[in-house]
Amino acid sequence: MQVLRFSCLLMLGIASCGPAAPPEAPPAASSSLSAAQKNAIGKKIWQNECGGTVDGLTTWNAGEEFPSLGIGHFIWYPAGFNGRWTESWPQFVAYARKHGVQVPEIGTRADAPWSTKAQFQAQFNGAEMSGLRRWLASNVTLQTDFIIARSQAALPKILAAAPAADRARIKANYEKVATTTNGTYALIDYVNFKGDGTNTTERYNGQGWGLLQVLQGMKNVPSGQAAAAEFAASSKRALDRRIANSPPARGESRWRAGWHNRCDTYARSL
C-alpha cells in the first residue's frame, strides 16, 4: 500500500489556527488523499455519528444540552448555554462561507434556534429543519473537507500544548499511525469525535481524552497496521478513563460500548 504522507502536510501554515477560528486546509491538502479516500472517510464518519441516515443529520442526543448537526455531529449551543465542549457548528458555517457555499438561514443564526430538546423534536419535521437536513445530505464533501481541515490543524496545537519531553514521541506516534489509510481515517475521525485534547475545559479530574492524550498513551509499536491497532487500543483506554472520571449523574458508561465499537474501526481497513 502506498504510504500516505498526510502528517507531513499538517505543518504547512496552519499552526496559528485558534480554537474559535474556522480551520483552513493547506493548498496541498487535496492531494494528500484521493477523492475516493475522502469519500470513504466521509461516509464512515456519517455512519459513526448518524448511522448513515439523513434524519441523523439533525440530532439532540439524550443527556446533552444542545443539538448536533451534520455528518460530524457539529455541536451548536442554544442561547445562554456555555458548555465545556468545543462548539464546532459555527466553525463549520464560517468554513462554508469562506469557500463560497451558502448555508440555509436557519443554520446561520448566532445561537441554536431551539432552547430544549422538546422544542427541537417538535420542529424536527418542519420545513426549516427538513431543508437543513437536505442541504447537509447534499454537501457531504464540504463537511468531510472541514473535518479533515480540523484534523490538519490539530497536530501543531497538540505539539505546542504537550510537555516538551513528550513532543518527539507524540509526533512519531502520529506519523506511525498516518502510514495507513485506516490510520489516516482514525486521526481525522478522532479529532471530530473527541477533540484534539488541548481544550483545558474538556477535562475530568484534570485528565483529558482527546487526540493529544491518545497519542501520549500509545505503547511503542512499529508503524503501519500495528500503530493503527495500538491507536485504537489507546483511544479506548482514554475513553475508559474519561468514563471513570466523569460525574456519575452524566451516566457516561452507557456510551462505552458504542465508543469502543467506533475505536475498533480504526484498526480495520476502510
pLDDT range class, residue 84, cuts 50, 70, 90: confident
- Above 70 in pLDDT, residue 28? no
**Grid coordinates representing 226?**
500495528
Please tell me the predicted confidence (pLDDT) of residue 33: 80
Give the pairing of strands 68-69 and 58-59: antiparallel
**Grid coordinates representing 133?**
437536513
Please tell me the predicted confidence (pLDDT) of residue 24: 39
Please tell me the predicted confidence (pLDDT) of residue 146: 94
Query: What pLDDT, in 10s, does the model give residues 161-182?
Result: 999 999 999 999 999 998 888 9
Mean pLDDT of 130-138: 97
pLDDT range class, residue 34, cuts 50, 70, 90: confident
Mean pLDDT of 101-129: 96
Which residues fall within 8 angstroms of residue 4, CB to CB, at 6 or more apart? 32, 33, 178, 179, 180, 181, 184
Chain-centre distance for alpha carbon 23 = 12
Q: Could you tell me if 142 and 96 are in contact, meaning their C-beta atoms sit under 8 angstroms apart?
A: yes
Q: Sheet containing 74-75: which strands, arranged edge to edge?
A: 58-59, 68-69, 74-75
pTM of the predicted model as reported, rounded to 2 decimal places: 0.78
Mean pLDDT of 105-123: 96
pLDDT range class, residue 83, cuts 50, 70, 90: confident
- Above 70 in pLDDT, residue 159? yes
The terminus-to-terminus CA distance of the chain in angstroms comes to: 13
Q: To the nearest whole number, what is the mean pLDDT of the chain?
A: 87
Query: What pLDDT, in 10s, does the model give residues 184-213?
Result: 899 989 988 899 999 898 999 999 999 999
Please tell me the predicted confidence (pLDDT) of residue 82: 87
Please tell me the predicted confidence (pLDDT) of residue 20: 38
Query: What pLDDT, in 10s, does the model give residues 223-265?
Result: 999 999 999 999 999 999 999 999 999 999 999 999 999 999 9
Residue spans of the domains in the chain: they are 52-153, 162-270
Distance between CA atoms of residues 116 and 119, nearest Å: 5
Q: Which of 238, 244, 236, 231 is nearest to 261 (CA)?
A: 236
- Above 60 in pLDDT, residue 22? no
- Above 60 in pLDDT, residue 132? yes
- Above 70 in pLDDT, residue 138? yes
